[in-house]
Structure 1
């Protein structure tokens, strides 16, 4: 089947899904950003290094005003480069900050409520762990993508399930909705995920903690994905 990719629309107010062949990177912020301007520079380096489908803002243990302040700065960097931005968990904050959509987990705001708040043009993705049933439900409800994982051990977030490669193959066989692979993904281990059919690779530490910087990490992913 044709894979789908994310593209930002001309107005900067929303996102659309386009057919696009290669697997793409889906960046997620680290859970804590102390130096906002410094991180904005690192984000610009990552986005300038190679194709990135979108950025998810996933900040933990900070107040809403701080999330809004960080988001405002990162939106500037991302939208200037045509990269859409999704808020993690919080459709209300996505709406308040002008994000292009939201990513919701199984314990967060339900998909239907997120869609009601954000409207039909917003991009909404849903965590499905390793559940075929949850993925089917999300797709049938209208989710713009489903996320499977974790595929590898990760220190970013405690994984509730370990997803098998076969779930990506199955999804590509039966669904048109794009799928995101997440969990401990690095340039060294990503090729099986690409070969199995992941449309996006969601990455955190492998980019922001790369010893040569986030730009080098994006280039390494691009090379690894192209060789799959």
Structure 2
């Protein structure tokens, strides 16, 4: 008798950490980042500084990237494929108003990780995937003061994407340890957070532990 095909289980969602938009004290933040990354699993660190000049961004990458890499965490720069390539980042994340996925790929090469903001639109996500994006990001799922947002997708967009497309998806926007599990169960491959870690009342390491616990619980429940 022929065996039924085995559908592989989806791996648990992982944490995707984003820096605050402004880092006033780079050395103090470097220490906080080291503590956060040492507290549990983090897949990627996106360095997102806005507004910031090139020199500030370069200094941040040079200081923070070695800390991330020491923990096996991919370093993604926001918006600027040219600076990402020049500073040796692992990839770049582009928004709808930034460089295109195709141009980012041309600048950074075949091995770079390219991510794209797709708000609440499966059409934008499909266009990004077809252009060669390594992941697409949907959000903001919840209110956030990290950046101005006007799009508020339903978690179902993650489910539909997960069931129809192989390109991984990231959930972003106002996510906390209390809401991360919901998005992981809905289908997010990665859950992107900023304030939930950097503003955690017990410190960044506690923030990472709380989020990883929520994701682990969601994986068991799924």
| Matches of 1:55 and 1:42, distance apart in 2 | 13
| Matches of 2:41 and 2:188, distance apart in 1 | 16
- Report the count of equivalent residues: 212
Question: TM-score normalised to the size of structure 1?
Answer: 0.91
Aligned to 1:161: 151
- Partner of 1:167, secondary structure, is helix
RMSD: 1.2
How far has the Cα of 1:2 moved from its partner?
5.6
How far has the Cα of 1:82 moved from its partner?
1.2
| Matches of 1:67 and 1:189, distance apart in 2 | 31
How far has the Cα of 1:37 moved from its partner?
1.1
How far has the Cα of 1:160 moved from its partner?
2.7
Q: Tell me, which stretches of 5 or more residues in structure 2 are unaligned?
A: 1-6
- Give the 4+ runs in structure 1 shifted more than 6 A: none
Deviations 1:28-83, CA, capped at 9 Å, x for gaps = 00001111111011001111000000000000122101110111000110111111
| Matches of 1:136 and 1:76, distance apart in 2 | 33
- Partner of 1:129, secondary structure, is coil
- Whichever structure has more strand as a proportion of its residues is 1
Q: Tell me, which stretches of 5 or more residues in structure 1 are unaligned?
A: 4-19
**Greater Rg over alpha carbons, structure:** 2
- Partner of 2:176, secondary structure, is coil
How far has the Cα of 1:185 moved from its partner?
0.1
For 1:37-186, list aligned pairs within 5 A.
37-186=27-176
Aligned to 1:224: 214
| Matches of 1:26 and 1:105, distance apart in 2 | 16
- Partner of 1:191, secondary structure, is helix
Q: Aligned pair 1:211/2:201, yes or no? A: yes
